[in-house]
Amino acid sequence: MRLTVVGTPGDRRVGLFAAACARAGLAAPSVVPWRDVLTGRPLAVEGMLRIDSPGEDAEANTLLRGPGDPSRLGGGARWYRTFLDGLERLRPYPSSGDVDEIAVLFDKRATHARLAAAGVPVPPALGPVGGYAELRERMAESGFHRVFVKPAHGSSAAGVIALQAAGGRIRAQTSAARDAAGWYNALGVRAYTGEHEVAALVDALAPDGLHVERWFPKAALGGRVFDLRVVLVASVPTHVVARTARAPMTNLHLGGRRGDLAAVRAALPWAEAMDVCVRAASCFPRSTMVGVDLLVGVGLRRFAVAEVNAFGDLLPGLPGLPGTPAEGMDTYDAQVAAYLQTRHSVPVNG
CATH of the domain at 292: 3.30.470.20
Q: Is 286 exposed, middle or buried (0-12, 13-18, 19+ CB in 10 A)?
A: middle
Considering the entire predicted model, what is its pTM? 0.95
Residues 178 and 233 in one domain: no
> Is residue 64 domain-resident?
yes
CA nearest to 251, candidates 211, 319, 307, 170: 307
> Is residue 125 domain-resident?
no
% of the chain with per-residue pLDDT over 90:
90
* Final residue in a domain of this structure, among 163, 194, 214: 214
**96-149 residue pLDDT tens:** 999 999 999 999 999 999 999 999 999 999 988 999 999 999 999 999 999 999
Residue 229 domain boundaries = 218-341
**pLDDT score of 312 more than 50:** yes
Residues 233 and 200 in one domain: no
* Final residue in a domain of this structure, among 186, 214, 242: 214
* Final residue in a domain of this structure, among 214, 233, 267: 214
Question: In total, how many domains does the chain have?
Answer: 3
Q: What is the pLDDT of residue 2?
A: 82
Confidence of residue 295 (pLDDT cuts 50, 70, 90): very high
Rounded distance, CA 17 to CA 259, Å?
25
% of the chain with per-residue pLDDT over 70:
98
Residues 266 and 307 in one domain: yes
What mean pLDDT comes out for the span 2-17? 94
Mean pLDDT of all residues in the chain?
94
Confidence of residue 187 (pLDDT cuts 50, 70, 90): confident
Please enumerate in sequence order all residues whose Cβ is within 8 A of that of 35, keeping only pairs 6 or more positions apart, or say none: 41, 57, 59, 60, 63
> Is residue 126 domain-resident?
no
Residues 225 and 325 in one domain: yes
What mean pLDDT comes out for the span 77-94? 97
How far apart, in Å, are the Cα atoms of 259 and each of 53, 88, 134, 244, 291? 26, 39, 38, 6, 18
